[in-house]
Structure 1
Amino acid sequence: MTDSNKNGIFFRDGIFTLQTKNSTYQMKADKFGFLLHLYYGRKMFGNADFLPHQGDRGFSPNPYDAGSDRTYSLDFLPLEFPVRGVGDFRSPAFDVKYADSSWGLDLRYKSYKISDGKYSLSGLPAVYSEKASDEAQTLEIILEDDVAKIQAKLLYGILPKLDIITRSVEVTNLGEETFTIEKLQAASLDFVAGNYDFIKFYGRHAMERNAERTPITHCAQVISSRRGTSSHQYSPVMIVCKNDATENSGSVWGLNFAYSGGFKGEAEKDQFNSTRIQLGLQDEMLSYPLHKGEKFVSPEVIMTYSNNGIGQVSRNFHKCIAKNICRGKYRDEIRPVLLNSWEANYFNISKDSILKLAKDASELGIEMLVMDDGWFGKRDDDNSGLGDWIINEKKIGCSLKELVEKVNETGLKFGIWFEPEMINEDSDLYRAHPDWALNFKGRKPVRGRNQLVLDYSRPEVVEAIFEQMCKVLDSANVEYVKWDFNRSINDVYSYAENVENQGKVLYDFVKGTYSLAEKLTSRYPNILFEGCSGGGGRFDAGMMFYTPQIWCSDNTDAIDRTRIQYGTSFAFPASTVGSHVSIVPNHQTGRVCPMKTRGVVAMAGTFGYELDLAKITSEEKEEIREQVKSYKKYANLIKNGDYYRLTNPFTDETASWAFVAEDKSEALVSSVQLEMHGNMTPLYVPIFGLENGAVYRDEESGNLYPADVLEELGLPITEPMLHFKAYQWHLVKA
């Protein structure tokens, strides 16, 4: 048995135990060499190998090794890495097809290795550990099929202080015959008993990551993306919790896929009331051949557990992504307050319009101006020019160098927009290389936003775009890049000469995107890269490895954003959330909200503006000055504080949240009133995360509030209540 109180990885009597600060993960190689999943949950000491049940179950087959023992069947035992072909009829995590079109695997335990530090993945994003104090460790478990000559190396990374365990799989062909990978899930969890709920995050363009909680029952619940990206429609995040779990109590498990392509997540209760949870690559359109000696690496799933509710799982994810996924200069720095030109000018940009925005922004304390779409090639609308990353000096009226110097003279940094993976048919690049676009052979392409997708599974295509981008970025003092991706991938066909199976293309495409991102971030370490895909269509931990912030949604309406940012907060920290104040009536919804409300909502992210400063009143300009000052005052608390969801904006009368300092010395509490009725009843905002027994002073009013009362009953809204009005309190421990 495990008798150590230390965190880390331990092996004894065939049992592997992974201990974090507050959780335990345990599995066992049994007498037949099958790797059983024993336990993942609250930290415990001892062995959970008594949990798997056995019995003679009708129609549950028995492996040949079991002989006449009909009580042993993989049809109901909890498995660490389930495969098709050993008598388990539940959903497999790994499936292959052989040259004769047959299926079937029989993976048995061979060996293990424990090492200090966290593993990395070649060409893929992954959680990293750069400090010895993190006490990170890696466990490798080797499983092999002796007949098919297939090896699966299960990788486990453990960051004990963060309560984080990661999982990945490396598949190797040890034999002579080629096989194809048809399915590969990085993480699979079997719960032998209990009733659970599944929290998923669905949506659409401009209304992403709506939280939905449903019981896990005797049917397969599946979330997925077939779009080639992580998508607006589902987030690659799964939260599983006991039926009675709440925001602040109960057992909760979180799985977060660090990948920017298609994914699949599954949750199902089986015939014997066990529950299986899986997350990994989308198996549709995946058919990846492996020849002798070749390897295939699964992207990583980040896992965490808490018995203190859903909110603690979120905060575990936040800390891990902010410090152990995001990289580079801006991981730790406060981001500049920026103004984006899009809603001010759309495609109608010029030297004069950009400099006018810069001058107006500088006077209000804004720190950066971003020139969005429309500056390159033949680009006066969204029908042409993508792929031709050359500044249109005739349209702009000067060189990029001159424009940036003029913007810098106003005291502002300069940023620029790219959409590197896209191409228009009306472009010089397409006319020169039509085969560089993904398109079904012999068919007219399916267009999206009148554009096609470049074939990033081909290194020469990636290199050509990299060279174009470098010429632009080397020509001027560019300090920010917005990286957009404005359509889904439909025509999955590559014209590369060496493509033997089109089932490789989507996976290799994503790796091509990552290779470009790695080359750019390495060459330009001082540039702040912000991801975007029509807003939140590629909002995932994979892209955050390269872009420490991502435009959260193209919908900038403050009320819709309270819901979008609420759903986003379940898995991603505020420091990754691109959020701006925009004009009213809002360009997406037509809704009118007070400037203060728009500012308070945008402060729950990286903060900036998306409007024409020449078209707002002097009173609104003064409000912006004060908002910028306020954001800078609280920026460190917002970026590094612990985030608490205080209400649910889908069901409650307010959208309320708080950032609490790690030492609980202060908190910034924000609330937006979503409902207004005649003779309105009093509203109270519950506040979690403060120090029990402490008293807090509201900085503005001087009022004193016991933390326990604020948590139990809430802070009353005493100001006049108005529809869509925002309230903000800075509480300091007295």
Structure 2
Amino acid sequence: MMQVWKLEDQRQTLVLASEDGRMPSVVYWGGKLPKGEDLAVLAQATRLDVTSGMLDRSPDLSICPEVSQSFSGQPGLAIRSEDGTPLRPRFALESVDNTDDTLTVTARDAALGLTYRAVFTLVHSTSVIEARSEIGSLSPIWLDWLAAPVFPAPQLADRMIDFSGRWCGEFQRVDTPWTPGARLRDNRTGRTGHEYFPAIILPVGDARNTAGEVVAFHYGWSGGHRMVAEELPDGRRQIQFGHAPGTHLATGTSFASATVFAARSEDGMNGCAVAFQRHLRDHVVRWPHPDRPRPVHYNCWEAIYFDHKLDELKEIAERAAALGAERFVLDDGWFGRRDDDTSSLGDWDIDARKYPDGLDPLVSHVKSLGMTFGIWFEPEMVNPDSDLYRAHPDWALGDADQITGRQQLVLDMSNPAVVEYLYRKIAAVLSVYDVDYIKWDHNRVLPYPDAAQAEGTWELLERLGRDFPEVEIESCSSGGGRIDFGILGRTQRVWLSDSNDAIERLRIQHEAALFLPMAVTGSHVGPRHCHTSGRVIDIHVRAWVAAQRHMGFEMDPRELTDDEAVVLKDVTAWWKTNRNWTIAADILRLDSVDPEVTAELQRAADGSRFIVFVGQTGTSAQVLPRPLRLSGLEVDAMYKVALLDSVGNNPASRKGVTLSTAPVVLSGRFLMQQGLSLPKCFPQSIWVVEGERV
């Protein structure tokens, strides 16, 4: 007997089917099916043939592939009894609850006392599917692996795209061809990680940013994860995501995966990107001030590091405010006896040597300048040289003689006493001072992966969010080491990278836009002489790259020349004038055959206007710029297109193009099929083009 269920919106249909009461499988995920489609016939049409050398029936590639069904690929569940004996459940379908937007599958193995549940939710406004799984047991079990509900991968995809990275080099794209067997990616660092962003993109055929069929997945978990992209000997393909195996370090009677977010598009990778951007911004993030414009940020880290002097900080705040900053963030060095990174993490009391009157003088001064005040914490860490560690060495995770990272150890966030201590210390600061922002850092990997660490951190963030709902929190982890939809359900901003090198940022921001909207993506104008790359970059480029996302400054404003200050004030003023529409804009990555060009278009929610950023990172092979095709416009609409005149001098252009001297009015079809001709420019330059529908 075949049973079928579906979730559907205007863009897609997801069909699950169960035969003879077995665990259901995803038998169709594609464009919206016609009204008269017989789903039982559809499911029967997906049955596989049998040939020599095979079992007499192909084991189901179900939402939780089972070893007990002789499934030879990666199973969806690996568990052991309390004494360590492997268990091989044989689940029988118990019930399926199917509403317009949710499909809940419950299956049971009565003999082993196990219950499996999977929940699929289709969010109609974004067309993103959220899927998660749970396992319950009547007696304690060890969980080695639990996949979120398993999706099939497209048969016509010939490659997969995922992301590696490092400190100051996040979101490095990796293209891998599909081959028989599994691409297995394990992140065992205990945090989301620079190394392996928990996502995969599967283009079908020659799909690219702006065209073609694409499916994409993201696993919203802030601890280590595993990804499996597997092609079975019979040609079927599966995608699995779950917590890194073996990271549940104790037995239990209930476990759950994090949510896997799934999107599909027939408009290229941008279709999935827009779905993820909107979904994160509108359905995942809890905004403390949803109606307040995103404030221009100033962070003092690269201006002073640990050298806190009140008079200098006041002067820096004055200059930042004059440039247009609306929030001042006091970074590392305000607590304990914190003169470098070797001491005081965990001692979250104000350093009376640096601030004899507490933080009131600085906070009052910042607020008198019209800015709000933010502050840095690294709650999950402790220095061996700290009062906290001397009092509670047992609160540190791992062995006493472990290798430290940045001179620090990790606190055991599964310990309720640790979480309570951290809550009291943070709450004490938030209760005394008018703080509207926390930069929450996490500067080392765990000594060993432990899912309870992320769970404890989530619990602490949720408690602070309930008790201080006006405070915004940024997830920073040596830059982009903890970016995922799970942490962003509890925070409102990410620090994308510790690199303030605008040329490197162009690439990092470009790739991250496949998942992240402008609203959550911090991007700052760094020092003229970049502290992380040594490169000297023009102020026009630094300012406009920061203006592509949630804009801020992170340098000593006293270093600016008068001309540089004018440029930065102008760009900041542009950002403020336009942020009401750019905050809700879709970021569309533009295709370019020139590897030295990185370009994107930000399109207003109503399609009435757009802004294009075109970064020239290096020297092109050809003499002149290739025409740049735009995307996401109405083919029959006319657009007034203008090149902003504040992008700096351009001695490489001797004569210029039409846009160099005046705006032009062109059709959406022309802009998307022929493209814009831009002036010649030197490497490390940027063009900014505004468009408005007329």
TM-score, normalised on structure 2?
A: 0.93
Give the 3 Å change call, closer, same or farther, for CA 625–54 of structure 1 in structure 2.
Answer: closer
Distance 1:472 1:59 in 2: 68
More divergent stretch after superposition (418-427 vs 17-26): 17-26
State the SS of the aligned residue for 2:612: strand
Residue 423 of structure 1: aligned partner: 382
Residue 64 of structure 2: aligned partner: 81
- Matched to 2:95, the amino acid is S
- Matched to 2:635, the amino acid is N
Residue 721 of structure 1: aligned partner: 681
- Within the alignment, does 1:433 sit opposite 2:395 as a pair? no
State whether residues 547 and 572 of structure 2, in contact with CA within 8 Å, keep that contact through their aligned partners in structure 1: no
Matches within 5 A, 1:120-199: 137-174=101-138, 177-191=139-153, 193-199=155-161
State whether residues 297 and 327 of structure 2, in contact with CA within 8 Å, keep that contact through their aligned partners in structure 1: yes
Give the 3 Å change call, closer, same or farther, for CA 233–480 of structure 1 in structure 2.
Answer: same
Residue 496 of structure 2: aligned partner: 552
State the SS of the aligned residue for 1:90: coil
Deviation at residue 213 of structure 1 after TM alignment = 2.2
Identify which of 355, 380, 401 aligns with 1:444: 401
- Within the alignment, does 1:568 sit opposite 2:512 as a pair? yes
Distance 2:595 2:620 in 1: 14
Distance 1:572 1:464 in 2: 33
Deviation at residue 287 of structure 1 after TM alignment = 4.9
- Within the alignment, does 1:297 sit opposite 2:249 as a pair? no
State whether residues 260 and 542 of structure 1, in contact with CA within 8 Å, keep that contact through their aligned partners in structure 2: yes
Q: In percent, how many aligned pairs have the same letter?
A: 29
Matches within 5 A, 1:205-284: 205-284=167-246
TM-superposition CA deviations, 1:502-551 (whole Å, max 9, x none) = xxxx2221111011111111222222211100000001111111111100
Deviation at residue 636 of structure 1 after TM alignment = 2.2
Distance 2:227 2:51 in 1: 28
Residue 655 of structure 2: aligned partner: none
Give the 3 Å change call, closer, same or farther, for CA 153–678 of structure 1 in structure 2.
Answer: closer
Deviation at residue 356 of structure 1 after TM alignment = 1.1
Distance 2:53 2:337 in 1: 66
Deviation at residue 192 of structure 1 after TM alignment = 8.0
Residue 350 of structure 2: aligned partner: 391
Give the 3 Å change call, closer, same or farther, for CA 511–436 of structure 1 in structure 2.
Answer: same
Give the 3 Å change call, closer, same or farther, for CA 684–573 of structure 1 in structure 2.
Answer: same
Residue 664 of structure 2: aligned partner: 703
Matches within 5 A, 1:192-591: 193-290=155-252, 294-331=253-290, 333-440=292-399, 443-491=400-448, 506-591=450-535
Give the 3 Å change call, closer, same or farther, for CA 178–728 of structure 1 in structure 2.
Answer: same
TM-score, normalised on structure 1?
A: 0.88
Residue 553 of structure 2: aligned partner: 609
Deviation at residue 81 of structure 1 after TM alignment = 1.6
- Matched to 2:58, the amino acid is S
Deviation at residue 648 of structure 1 after TM alignment = 5.6
Distance 1:150 1:139 in 2: 20
- Matched to 2:443, the amino acid is N
Distance 1:100 1:458 in 2: 25
TM-superposition CA deviations, 1:609-645 (whole Å, max 9, x none) = 0110111111111111111101112212321111110
State whether residues 374 and 438 of structure 2, in contact with CA within 8 Å, keep that contact through their aligned partners in structure 1: yes
State the SS of the aligned residue for 1:607: strand
Deviation at residue 397 of structure 1 after TM alignment = 4.0
Give the 3 Å change call, closer, same or farther, for CA 508–373 of structure 1 in structure 2.
Answer: same
Residue 96 of structure 1: aligned partner: 79
State whether residues 323 and 331 of structure 1, in contact with CA within 8 Å, keep that contact through their aligned partners in structure 2: no
Distance 1:453 1:697 in 2: 55
Residue 10 of structure 2: aligned partner: 21
Residue 112 of structure 1: aligned partner: 96
- Matched to 1:334, the amino acid is P
Give the 3 Å change call, closer, same or farther, for CA 108–60 of structure 1 in structure 2.
Answer: farther
TM-superposition CA deviations, 1:410-465 (whole Å, max 9, x none) = 2221111000100001111111111001013xx51221001000000112211100
More divergent stretch after superposition (622-631 vs 276-285): 276-285
Deviation at residue 154 of structure 1 after TM alignment = 0.8
State whether residues 258 and 301 of structure 1, in contact with CA within 8 Å, keep that contact through their aligned partners in structure 2: yes
More divergent stretch after superposition (523-532 vs 308-317): 523-532
Deviation at residue 100 of structure 1 after TM alignment = 4.9
Residue 4 of structure 1: aligned partner: none
Distance 1:608 1:373 in 2: 17
TM-superposition CA deviations, 1:342-400 (whole Å, max 9, x none) = 00000101211211111111222211111100000010000000001111122234311
TM-superposition CA deviations, 1:546-581 (whole Å, max 9, x none) = 111100000110111111111111111121111101
Residue 657 of structure 2: aligned partner: none
Residue 663 of structure 1: aligned partner: 606
Deviation at residue 57 of structure 1 after TM alignment = 4.6
Residue 597 of structure 1: aligned partner: 541
- Matched to 2:85, the amino acid is S
Residue 33 of structure 2: aligned partner: 44
- Matched to 2:684, the amino acid is F
- Within the alignment, does 1:652 sit opposite 2:595 as a pair? yes
- Within the alignment, does 1:641 sit opposite 2:625 as a pair? no
- Matched to 1:641, the amino acid is A
- Matched to 1:623, the amino acid is V
- Matched to 1:672, the amino acid is G
- Matched to 1:588, the amino acid is T
Distance 2:154 2:390 in 1: 58
Give the 3 Å change call, closer, same or farther, for CA 285–523 of structure 1 in structure 2.
Answer: closer
Distance 1:678 1:411 in 2: 48
Which 5+ residue runs of structure 1 have no aligned equivalent? 1-11, 62-69, 116-135, 493-505
Distance 1:78 1:86 in 2: 10
State whether residues 86 and 105 of structure 1, in contact with CA within 8 Å, keep that contact through their aligned partners in structure 2: no
Give the 3 Å change call, closer, same or farther, for CA 702–191 of structure 1 in structure 2.
Answer: closer
Deviation at residue 160 of structure 1 after TM alignment = 2.0
Deviation at residue 21 of structure 1 after TM alignment = 2.2
Give the 3 Å change call, closer, same or farther, for CA 32–733 of structure 1 in structure 2.
Answer: closer
- Matched to 1:433, the amino acid is H
More divergent stretch after superposition (157-166 vs 451-460): 157-166
Identify which of 690, 693, 705 aligns with 2:636: 693
Give the 3 Å change call, closer, same or farther, for CA 679–546 of structure 1 in structure 2.
Answer: closer
State whether residues 188 and 276 of structure 1, in contact with CA within 8 Å, keep that contact through their aligned partners in structure 2: yes
State whether residues 644 and 688 of structure 1, in contact with CA within 8 Å, keep that contact through their aligned partners in structure 2: yes
Give the 3 Å change call, closer, same or farther, for CA 25–447 of structure 1 in structure 2.
Answer: same
- Matched to 1:140, the amino acid is T
| Root mean square deviation of aligned Cα | 1.9
State whether residues 557 and 582 of structure 1, in contact with CA within 8 Å, keep that contact through their aligned partners in structure 2: yes
* Number of equivalent positions: 670
Give the 3 Å change call, closer, same or farther, for CA 541–595 of structure 1 in structure 2.
Answer: same
Give the 3 Å change call, closer, same or farther, for CA 264–617 of structure 1 in structure 2.
Answer: same
Which 5+ residue runs of structure 2 have no aligned equivalent? 645-661
Residue 565 of structure 2: aligned partner: 621
Deviation at residue 729 of structure 1 after TM alignment = 1.3
Deviation at residue 249 of structure 1 after TM alignment = 2.3
